[in-house]
Structure 1
Amino acid sequence: MKTLKGPSIFLSQFISDNPPFNSLDTLAAWAAGLGYKAVQIPTHLPHIFDLAKAAESLEYCAEIRHLLANVGLEISELSTHLQGQLVAVHPAYDAAFAGFAPKELAHDAVARQQWAVDSLKQAARASQNLGLNAHATFSGALAWPYFYPWPPRNEQLLDEAFQELAARWKPILDCFDDAGVDVCFELHPGEDLHDGVTFERFLALVDNHPRCNILYDPSHMLLQHMDYLGFIDHYHARIKAFHVKDAEFLPSAKSGVYAGYQPWIDRPGRFRSLGDGQVNFNGIFSKLAQYDYSGWATLEWECCLKAGDAGAREGAKFIAEHIIPVAEYAFDDFALRDSDKSAVRRMLGLEE
């Protein structure tokens, strides 16, 4: 059995123009001071982390690792959530996601998609250069506007959407395979891969690609009313990354899982800081220990009530206290007795 690693923290929600959140070295010192052991680094901001440079320069990667090691940190994973989103964008979201790409590509859908694919391939090489074995991303979405279909469900439309999504990702997955790095899709509403069924559909279309894996985030499953503990039983072999994020669903007479176009604070389902929501983290950490998950437990802080600095400070302690140091021997080993076949047969009453 293996003990998972942590706590790690996803930096995206904390980056700003204000110190200490405006450079990697000061972000690292801040995270280490809170008790984190690793950081998950977004790759769309070159002043924080230069993805193109990391893909080509072992020297730059060594400098990044040294910078983090100086304050006792590692990199848990790189993240390309924004670039992954742009691998597949339905025209309905063209304007909404335009800002995820460089300004000169924002309104050129073809060039924007190619930039996203190139960025993913850079992330594969950068991860390899940094000695990482997992990568966090989104799948993008072509079918999402039809997730609750009216007119009724069109199977041909869904087939075409998933076949196209698989065709776009297969060369990227191959690139990550060459680099020896797992692609971990965060299953997330808004993405075509948002639950177990959609992941399985995609996985079959990429021929059960060994690098096609899951970033497990129970908050998104709780808000979809999924059995997020049973999910681990089904998919543990494909879970290679873990966002520790809390959520709650408070039934309402006025609104439900679709939230009524309300702000987060007014929705029946909303994300919370660790320990303030309804997610059963004791059960999750136990399941992951049971199945030998050996990756990182990474805080993704998103809360509509609590301040980010408080959520980050409390999150480090919360994750550390939930990590289960797995047993090196069974508790009843003391009662074991050596035996041979003859002794066993006597125990079964098969020999006198």
Structure 2
Amino acid sequence: MKTIKGPGLFLAQFAGDEAPFNDWPSICRWAADAGYAGVQVPSWETRFLDLDRAAESKDYCDEFLGVARENGVEVPEMTCHLQGQLVAVHPAYDVAFDGFAAPSVHNNPSERQKWAVDQVEKTLRAAANMGHRAVGTFSGALAWPYMYPWPQRPAGLVEMAFDELAKRWTPLLNLADELGLDVCYEIHPGEDLHDGVTFEMFLDRVNQHPRAKMLYDPSHYILQCLDYLDNIDIYADRIGMFHVKDAEFNPTGRQGVYGGYQSWVNRAGRFRSPGDGHVDFGAVFSKFAAMDFDGWAVVEWECALKHPEDGAREGAAFVKDHIIRVTPHAFDDFADAGTDDEANARMLGLKP
């Protein structure tokens, strides 16, 4: 068994124009002061990272990592969620998702898609230059507008969407393999990979690619009423990254999973700071310890109620309290009788 690393903090929700959230040394120091041992870096956040330089220069990456260490944290992982989202976009979302891309490719879906692929490639190369083992991302979505089967979906529609999704991601998975990296898709509503079944549909189309992994985030399973503990057992060999994010689901006679177009505060299902929702993190961390997960427990703060700085500080302590330092011994070793094959045979009645 292995002791999970952490606590880590995903920086995407904290980047801003005001100190200490507006530059790399300051946010690292702030995270360390809040109790974190590491930070997970969003590769689109130019306040912290020059992705072009990171993809090309190991010296730049070494300097980047050095600044983090000088300010008290490691940088174990990177993600490219926003760029991965743009690898596959249904036209219904063109306007909404243009804001994720460089202005030069706005209102031009084909060029935006090329830009996104280039960004994912650069993130992979940067991660390799930093000595990482995995990159987190979204899969993007072509079939999501048809998630609910009304009107009836035409035969072959979903299959065509997943065939195309696999076609777009296979070269990126192959590049990741060359670089020694896993691509960890966050299983997330709004993505074509939004539950275990859709992840398996994708795996079938990428020939069970060994680099296609999951970023496990139980909050997204709570809101789908999916068994988030059984999910760990099923996909233990495919889970490569872990977000510690909580959620609660409180259906009423007026509202359920779909939320009724309400704001996050007024939805039956909403994200909460770690420990404030319905996820049994004691059970989650136990399963990760038992399955030899060799990664980080990374807090992703998203809460409809709590201030982010309070959530971050409490999240660090929460993860520290839940990390299980695994035992090197069996608890009943004190009663070891020191038997051998001959003694075992006698115990079984196989020898006089």
What residue in structure 2 maps to residue 69 of structure 1? 69
What residue in structure 1 maps to residue 98 of structure 2? 98
What residue in structure 2 maps to residue 31 of structure 1? 31
Query: Aligned runs of 1:240-255 on 2, under 5 Å?
Result: 240-255=240-255
Q: Judging changes above 3 Å, is the alpha-carbon distance between structure 1 residues 290 and 154 closer, same or farther for their aligned structure 2 residues?
A: farther
What residue in structure 1 maps to residue 283 of structure 2? 283
How far apart, in 1, do the equivalents of 2:169 and 2:186 lie?
15
1:238-294 deviation digits (Å, cap 9, x = unpaired): 101000000001111111111011100000000001111110000000001010001
1:168-224 deviation digits (Å, cap 9, x = unpaired): 000000111111011000000000000000000001100111110000000000000
How far apart, in 2, do the equivalents of 1:87 and 1:331 lie?
49
Counterpart contact for 2:37–2:72, Cα < 8 Å: yes
**Corresponding residue SS for 1:6:** strand
What residue in structure 1 maps to residue 152 of structure 2? 152
What is the Cα deviation at residue 344 of structure 1? 1.6
How far apart, in 2, do the equivalents of 1:297 and 1:154 lie?
41
Counterpart contact for 1:141–1:192, Cα < 8 Å: yes
Counterpart contact for 2:28–2:72, Cα < 8 Å: no
- TM-score under structure 1 length normalisation: 0.99
Counterpart contact for 1:247–1:270, Cα < 8 Å: yes
Counterpart contact for 2:141–2:192, Cα < 8 Å: yes
What residue in structure 2 maps to residue 45 of structure 1? 45
Aligned length: 352
What residue in structure 2 maps to residue 343 of structure 1? 343
Amino acid at match of 1:131: G
- Structure 1 unaligned residues grouped into runs of 5+: none
**Corresponding residue SS for 1:150:** coil
Amino acid at match of 1:243: H
What is the Cα deviation at residue 154 of structure 1? 3.0
What is the Cα deviation at residue 342 of structure 1? 2.3
Query: Aligned runs of 1:85-234 on 2, under 5 Å?
Result: 85-234=85-234
Amino acid at match of 1:166: A
Counterpart contact for 1:85–1:139, Cα < 8 Å: yes
Amino acid at match of 2:48: I
What is the Cα deviation at residue 340 of structure 1? 2.9
Percent of residue pairs bearing the same amino acid type? 55
- Structure 2 unaligned residues grouped into runs of 5+: none
Q: Which moved more, 1:144-153 or 1:94-103?
A: 144-153
Amino acid at match of 1:165: L
**Corresponding residue SS for 2:13:** helix
How far apart, in 1, do the equivalents of 2:222 and 2:45 lie?
31
How far apart, in 2, do the equivalents of 1:210 and 1:334 lie?
41
What is the Cα deviation at residue 333 of structure 1? 1.2
1:281-311 deviation digits (Å, cap 9, x = unpaired): 0000000101000100000000110000000
**Corresponding residue SS for 2:208:** coil
Amino acid at match of 2:299: L
Report the RMSD for the aligned CA atoms in angstroms. 0.9
- TM-score under structure 2 length normalisation: 0.99
What is the Cα deviation at residue 47 of structure 1? 2.7
How far apart, in 2, do the equivalents of 1:351 and 1:26 lie?
71
Q: Which moved more, 1:306-315 or 1:146-155?
A: 146-155
